[in-house]
Amino acid sequence: MQTSKSSLSALTLGAIGVVYGDIGTSVLYSVKEVFGSGYVPFTPANVYGVLSVLFWTLTVIVSLKYVVLVLRADNNGEGGLVAMLALASQTVKDKPRLSSTLFLVGMFGTSLFYGDGVITPAISVLSAVEGLEVISPHFTRAVIPLTLVILFLLFFVQKRGTAGIGKFFGPITLTWFFCIALLGIHQILGHPEILAALSPHHAVGFIWNNPGTSFIILGSVVLCVTGAEALYADLGHFGKKPIRLAWFSIAMPALTLNYFGQGALLLANPEAVKNPFYMMAPSWALLPMVIMATMATVIASQALITGAFSVTRQVIQLGYLPRFEVRHTSVKETGQIYMPLVNWGLFVAIALAVLLFRNSGNLAAAYGIAVTLDMLITTTLTFFVVRYRWNYPLAVCILATGFFFIVDLAFFSSNLLKLFEGGWFPLLIGGTVFTLMMTWRKGRDLLQERLHADALNLREFLESAWRHPPTRVPGTAVFLSGEPGTVPHALLHNLKHNKVLHERNIFVTVRNHEVPWVGLDKRVQAESLGGDCWEVLIHYGFKNEPDVPAALAQLRTQGCMFESMETSYFLSRDVIIPRMSHRMAPWREKLFAQMHRNASRVSDFLHLPSNSVVELGSKIEL
């Protein structure tokens, strides 16, 4: 029992650092942007109304939607949009058209993650460093250079992994929540009447009296839920109970106290609207709070970067992106990875956002469209899970998700007003990633069709080979094939050029499935083809680590004497030649060919020993 409590405490502390780092730093800019928008006249009644709207936004979107409802929709213990997408598409697999539509919508939502992932670190770190301006206007010129330096250092250290510093994330973020709660309490004690804004009637009254203004400022109000999707995305790392416990016992109380503290400060000093968070702090605490805020935003950004690596690998496993170089940064945790291309691509985009928008106020205009559209997509997919997987009545499903859909739609519609002020930026990034995903998937499908059309039947080929058997040489040959039952190109080239066949031949097809994990008991399917030849299917989920030699070692229990030291792996290195067919636009064919050419080596992706790999090239026209 003691061990269980200790484990729960550790997981809860970890969740505070990783899951709530992002939403924990939203206090830096949310209230400032709502009142700084110029749409809300500064009156005590409006302060009460805005605070009430912020509090109930946190309650409805984070507490009720994500913590209570969405966390229940786990895919074998895993969360995140990719897991939800796989879960929703599986529940309607008997409706192929609906399943493919949901998958398309889900992949678009996944691509928007990258747009959100660029804006969030930029606005978080920049708003933290802007605290220097409160200390002295002379620091204004240093804000952008210092922000870029901090971001560069953050991305530079990624290659070393987060195992060493990760253990500090929870304590530092817990200290951050403690500090912002204290700041809020200090101000609330001066104006305790501000706590009346906890009542929803202030939010309802504000919206009723100012419907147009309320709709417009929803685009700024949504800033208070930055990082809400992380609740669901990190489900597999921490579990439901620690995430819920961390939210209701630490994160939400601290955020609420700080927001209401900012409201109390505004009642006492309307001039504080320029930067209410930092102006809550006494002068002696300003510099320590800037340092503390910077550390908190760096941790929040770190969690997002790690999430980008994880999501990218999952999308690759699902077949919607080419293989990227993956480096493991921990010998104990397989989930701790580093992807150089994703890392520096994110940094360039974030640095561009900082230089383009210049301050957190301008970045706030860019934030919202991508994340609210993601929220809409999550709600839509949740409906299909509740309806078809949990088998609840239609009326219950509509009630359970319809309310959240209306709320999400209101926030998304409001954020559309910011489209030309900067909202186009994350949409452009998300749209670019989505185009790459769809081009890769379409190109792969066309490539498979072409290979299948030209393929020879494996059994018939082997039967003909036994009539005039080639020279057999000692050892085992493993031939990777994209389609089971067909002759791999590498085998044909090997026979053509080397005119030999190994004494033992294994024809391997790797299958990736729309589930997070495939257990070892279901990893390998093997069938003997005679003549010491075997056809093998290896199954992986989108969170499994592909390792073909480790999977083939299981063949020993099925009668196939696999010895890794005597094995050679034969791969076909295809070169794509665009032929400008009507099946895909010419620019997409060229793009696919370029993506295929630049994909990382399949031998690295499948963990094949480099000194045992033989690659045989061939040209294929789409």
Q: Which domain holds residue 614?
A: 455-621
The percent of residues above 90 in pLDDT, for the chain, comes to 54
**Within-domain flag for 147:** yes
pLDDT for res 165: 63
**220 and 91 within one domain:** yes
Q: Are residues 402 and 287 part of one domain?
A: yes
Residues 493 and 570 in one domain: yes
pTM above 0.85, yes or no: yes
Q: Does residue 403 sit within a domain?
A: yes
User: What is the three-class DSSP state of 576?
Assistant: strand
CATH number at residue 172: 1.20.1740.10
| Domain annotation covers residue 436 | no
Residues 506 and 357 in one domain: no
Q: In the listed set 391, 417, 443, which residue is the last one of a domain according to the structure?
A: 417
**Spatial separation of the C-alpha atoms in residues 478 and 481, rounded to whole Å:** 10
Distance CA 457, CA 406 (A): 54
Domain count, the chain: 2
Q: Residue 23 in contact with residue 226, Cβ under 8 Å?
A: yes
The verdict on 352 and 487 lying in the same domain is: no
Q: How far from chain centre, in Å, is Cα 464?
A: 49
Lowest mean pLDDT among 340-344, 364-368, 543-547, 580-584: 580-584
Q: List, for residues 561-620, the tens digit of each pLDDT value.
A: 788 888 999 988 777 887 766 778 888 988 998 998 888 888 888 999 988 998 877 777
Q: Is 508 inside a domain boundary?
A: yes
pLDDT band at 2 (very low <50, low <70, confident <90, very high): very low
Residue type, 438: M
User: Smallest Cα–Cα separation from 620: which of 444, 473, 389, 388?
Assistant: 444
Residues 6+ apart with CB under 8 A from 170: 13, 14, 15, 16, 17, 18
Which of 5-9, 360-364, 514-518, 547-551 has maximum average pLDDT? 547-551
Tokens (6 digits) for 539: 């199954």
User: 442 lies in a domain?
Assistant: no
Select the highest-mean-pLDDT range: 103-117, 177-191, 364-378, 524-538.
177-191
The residue assigned the tokens 């009296």 is 209
Same domain, 388 and 251: yes
Helices (H), 160-275: 163-188, 200-209, 211-221, 228-233, 235-238, 240-246, 252-268
Distances from the Cα of 459 to the Cα of 448, 476, 489, angstroms: 20, 19, 15
What is the reported pLDDT for 96?
Answer: 86
Dist. CA 208–CA 221, nearest whole Å: 17
Looking at the structure, do residues 474 and 389 belong to the same domain, yes or no? Answer: no
User: CA-CA-CA-CA torsion for 191, 55, 24, 399, nearest 10 degrees?
Assistant: 170
Q: What is the pLDDT of residues 294-318, one digit of tens each?
A: 999 999 888 888 888 888 988 998 8
Q: Which of 392, 417, 442 is the last residue of a domain?
A: 417
* Residues β-bridged to residue 614: 570
446 lies in some domain: no
Cα 325–Cα 319–Cα 322 angle in degrees, nearest 5: 35
CA distances from 478 to 522, 540, 552, 569 (A): 20, 18, 10, 5
Count of Cβ atoms closer than 10 Å to residue 355 Cβ: 12
Q: What is the average pLDDT score of the chain?
A: 89
Average pLDDT over residues 533-557: 90
Q: Phi/psi zone of residue 528: left (φ > 0), alpha (ψ -120 to 50 degrees), beta?
A: beta
Strands in 401-542 per DSSP E: 471-480, 500-512, 524-530, 533-540
Tens of pLDDT, residue by residue over 98-125, are 988 998 999 999 999 898 889 989 999 9
Indicate the residue among 388, 417, 446 that finishes a domain.
417
Helix pair angle (340-357, 143-156), 10° resolution: 170
Q: Distance between CA atoms of 380 and 558, rounded to whole angstroms?
A: 45
Written in H, E and C, the secondary structure of 93-128 is: CCCHHHHHHHHHHHHHHHHHHHHHHHHHHHHHHHHH
Question: Which residues lie below 8 Å from residue 539, measured CB to CB, with a gap of 6+?
Answer: 511, 513, 518, 522, 523, 524, 525
Residues 395 and 463 in one domain: no
Distance of CA 406 to CAs 7, 62, 401, 411, 427, Å?
Answer: 38, 15, 9, 9, 22
In this structure, the answer to whether residues 520 and 594 fall within a common structural domain is: yes
**In the structure, what pLDDT confidence band is assigned to residue 332 with cuts at 50, 70 and 90?**
low
Contact at 8 Å (CB) between 290 and 128?
A: yes
What contacts 480, CB < 8 A, 6 or more positions away?
488, 490, 508, 509, 510, 548, 569, 570, 571, 572, 602, 606
- Please calculate the CA angle 247-253-254 and round it to the nearest 5 degrees: 100
Q: Copy the structure tokens of residue 117.
A: 């992932």
**Residues 555 and 500 grouped into a single domain:** yes
Q: Are residue 24 and residue 77 in the same domain, yes or no?
A: yes
Q: 327 near 452, Cβ under 8 Å? A: no
**Angle, alpha carbons 200-70-204 (nearest 5°):** 15
Residue 5 has what pLDDT?
64
Asked if residue 447 belongs to a domain, the reply is no
pLDDT tens column, 213-232 = 999 999 999 999 988 887 88
Task: Let me know whether 104 and 49 are in one domain.
Answer: yes
